[in-house]
Structure 1
Amino acid sequence: MLKNFMDLVCAILLANMQTISKGHINAYRLHIQRYLETMKSLYKDIKIKPTHHASLHVGDFLELFGLVQSHSAPFFKRYIHFLQSQNTNLKFVFLVMEEYTPVDHSNTDGRALDRSYRQFGFAGGFICYPSTAGSHIIEDCDVVSHFAKTPMKVGEREFLHVLPLNHLMEATVIVEPYGQ
């Protein structure tokens, strides 16, 4: 239990450093992955929470956007503004998840992810949804609060994953990156 706790402490310290390098980011990924894996083996009844899932994306977030201090609330406001400015012709957009099949993660490094956490391939990315329901409608008015490039790949192709920060709201929406 002490090693498990120390992995969490190391991950938190690494993620909140004032200076960061590629080595620090790799060390963060190692500690958080090991923390989640040993947590599942130590505490059999615990369920993976959205915050655990989000912690797996922090390394990518650090790599893409730099120090934690650089992507505070004003950072997210810019991206929320970008998403809200997308033209939908004043109509709600719906995605019916039963039309998509869950992504096969057999060739990915997703060991720490709870398999009940469903991911659907869509629009060059993933829709992540914490429900095991077979069908769910997602509206584009659902707020999305940050972009994170996942370490999960299908073959050699990387995907953009839009993950809400705030306890993983009801659903997430995939948006193609600007300029592509």
Structure 2
Amino acid sequence: MGHLNRLKLKAGLKKEDDEIDPQRNEDIFAELIQVLDDRSLALIMRNAKDDGRNAFKNLREHYLSQGKPKIIALYTELFTLQKHEDKDFTGYVIRAEKAIVALRNGGERISDALATAMLLKGLPPTFDTLKAIVTQRDTPQTLMEFKASLRSYEENTKPKMEDAIMKTSNKEPPTCFRCNKYGHFTKNCNKNR
């Protein structure tokens, strides 16, 4: 909008204007296609080619929509969200928060308890202990508290690389008590034969 305003083209987008100069309308469209990403460009090329006012209207409806299909799609995304074993929790939480914020912006009431339940539902079986702890609490956690619990749980259950290195590097070769040489056990000693 600021870009169009600077070019003095914003006036052509006002809803009160019934008639718009065709040249101005084309100029608005030309400016829009220069600043849009591929997804937005595909949207307006399909629905409002060479029509700046309609292109802007379509973009506004698409991105600020509170319509049922968009709300249903966001709920579906939230309900089907899954955290994979090999992925860290950050990407999982970001995807969930993105859907939650979009739903809230669309006028839906998403409580922290519902958001937490949806995040719990998508966790893999390795998080069953955390699921039990969270669901058995006397007082419900806020979403922020749950995210902190999730991060802490994941960090504490993840095998630490340093521990693995320490365990393998501290192993000494076995000592034979018969010949007092390193590298084999007494039962495998050549002096037995």
Taking structure 2 as the reference length, the TM-score comes to: 0.27
Which has the higher Rg, Structure 1 or Structure 2? 2
**Larger RCO: 1 or 2 (CA < 8 Å, sep 6+):** 1
